Structure 1
Amino acid sequence: MSTEPVSHCTSTLRPINTYPMHGGCPCTFVRYTLSSAPLIVHACHCTHCQRETGSAFALNAFYEPDRVIPSLSTGASGPDAESQLLRVPVPSLKGGSEGQIMTRCPKCFTVLWSVYAPVRALRIVRVGTVDGVRGEQGKYVPCGGLRPDAHLFAGESGNRHAWVGLEGERVFETMGTKEEYWGEESLERWRVFREGR
C-alpha cells in the first residue's frame, strides 16, 4: 500500500518553491493559478478566523489580485470565471461595514480567498486550497509548502489554543504592523500595489 497522500486535485506534483503554483476547491469546479510567491503567509488565531474556518486558526497567503487567476472546469477563466464565483460578506475585525468578502466555489461552497474591501484589495488565499508540491527527496508537501511567517493573535493573552505549540515561531499578541513581520521585498510590492490604486 502506498504511503503517498492522495490528492485528487493534482495529477503531477510541482517542485517546492516554483511558480506558478495552483490550487482549487475539493470538487475541482474552481481552480486558480498563483503567479508568484505570496507577500506574506500568516496564521491568524483571532476568534473571527477560528469561527470562519471551524479550526484553531486560519492560514492565509496574501497576494495582489492580478497574481491569483481563477479558472473553471467549464473552460471560463480570468474575469469570466470571476463573475461566476460566490461572494459572501461576513463580519470581521476589520473591513468596515462590509466586513470580509469570502469568495467561494458556487458548487461546493469552499472558501478559496477573501478580501477586506471589494475594490482592488489584496486577495487572502486560504492556504489549505493550494495544491501539494514535491519537496526534498520527492516527498509530498501539502499546501504548496507554504508556512506561516507569523502567528497573529497568538501570544499569551491572545486567542491561541493552549495545545498549539509555537516555540521558535514569530508570535504576536495582535495583528501587529506589516513592518514588524513582512520582508523588504513584500513591503516594496505592497507599496507599488497601493500606489497603483
Structure 2
Amino acid sequence: MATFPIEGGCGCRFIRYCMETKPLFVHCCHCRWCQRETGTSFALNAMIEADRVTLLSGEVQIVDTASESGKGQKIARCPKCHIAVWSNYVGAGPIIRFVRVGTLDHPDLLPPDIHIFIASKQPWVVIPSGAPAVPEYYDREKYWPAESLERHKTILPKIEAYQAELRHGLT
C-alpha cells in the first residue's frame, strides 16, 4: 500500500515531480495505439487531478501528440532526455493528468486497478489475476472506488467548462 506523497521524474533527473495524493485510478492500457506510442506492450498511467501533481524541479516541454481519438494529447516531456512524465488528453484538458507510472521512483507502489483494451493486447502478455480486465473501455461507476468517484464529481464542472470552451474555440 502506497503512502503519499510519492515522487518521480525523468531519466536524467532534470524533471522531478510529486504526486501529493493517491491517484483516481491506474490504467494498464493494452490498445495498439498505446503500444505504438510507448514502444512497449502496454501503457501504465495513473489518472490524477493536475493540481495534485507538483513539479519540484525542472520545466517540462509540452509536445502536442496524436491520439487514437483524433483529438490529440499534450505529453509533458523532459526537454533534456525526452522522457514522457505525464500527458493530458484533450477530453479532460489540463484538469486531469495521466502520470506515467514507470517514472515514479517506486513504480511498484501503483499496480494497475484495471487492464483495458485487452482485446488488442499482445497474445503473449498474460494478464495477472487481481485487477479486472476488460476488452475495451469500462464503466467508471462500476470499477472506480467511491472516494475516486466523489473526487471526480468535484472536478467534473471544470472538465465540462473546458470542453465547452473547446466547442466554442476559446481554448
Q: 1:167 to 1:105 in 2, by over 3 A?
A: closer
**Which amino acid is 1:63 matched to?**
I
Q: 1:149 to 1:162 in 2, by over 3 A?
A: same
Question: Does the Cα contact within 8 Å between 1:95 and 1:116 map onto a contact in 2?
Answer: no
Q: What do you get for the CA RMSD once the two structures are aligned?
A: 1.7
Partner of 2:115: 151
Question: Does the Cα contact within 8 Å between 1:21 and 1:144 map onto a contact in 2?
Answer: no
Partner of 2:127: 166
In the alignment, structure 1 residue 123 sits paired with structure 2 residue 97: yes
Alpha-carbon distance between aligned partners in 2 of 1:126 and 1:59, rounded to the nearest angstrom: 6
After superposition, give the CA deviation of every residue in 1:55-100 in whole Å (9 maximum; x if it has no partner): 000001001011111122xxxxxxxx5xx3211122213362xx01
The TM-score, its normalising length taken from structure 1, stands at 0.74
The TM-score, its normalising length taken from structure 2, stands at 0.85
Q: Which has the larger radius of gyration?
A: 1
Alpha-carbon distance between aligned partners in 2 of 1:65 and 1:160, rounded to the nearest angstrom: 29
More helix, by proportion: 2
Q: 1:188 to 1:150 in 2, by over 3 A?
A: same
SS at match of 2:95: coil
Alpha-carbon distance between aligned partners in 2 of 1:178 and 1:165, rounded to the nearest angstrom: 24
In the alignment, structure 1 residue 89 sits paired with structure 2 residue 89: no
Alpha-carbon distance between aligned partners in 1 of 2:141 and 2:69, rounded to the nearest angstrom: 18
Partner of 2:146: 184
Alpha-carbon distance between aligned partners in 1 of 2:16 and 2:4, rounded to the nearest angstrom: 15
Alpha-carbon distance between aligned partners in 2 of 1:25 and 1:167, rounded to the nearest angstrom: 28
Structure 1: gaps spanning 5 or more residues: 1-15, 73-80, 133-142
Give the deviation of 1:119 after TM superposition.
Answer: 4.1
Question: Does the Cα contact within 8 Å between 1:113 and 1:125 map onto a contact in 2?
Answer: yes
Give the deviation of 1:165 after TM superposition.
Answer: 1.1
Partner of 2:165: none
Question: Does the Cα contact within 8 Å between 2:95 and 2:158 map onto a contact in 1?
Answer: no
SS at match of 2:120: coil
**Which amino acid is 1:123 matched to?**
R
The percentage of aligned residue pairs carrying the same residue is: 42
Give the deviation of 1:178 after TM superposition.
Answer: 1.4
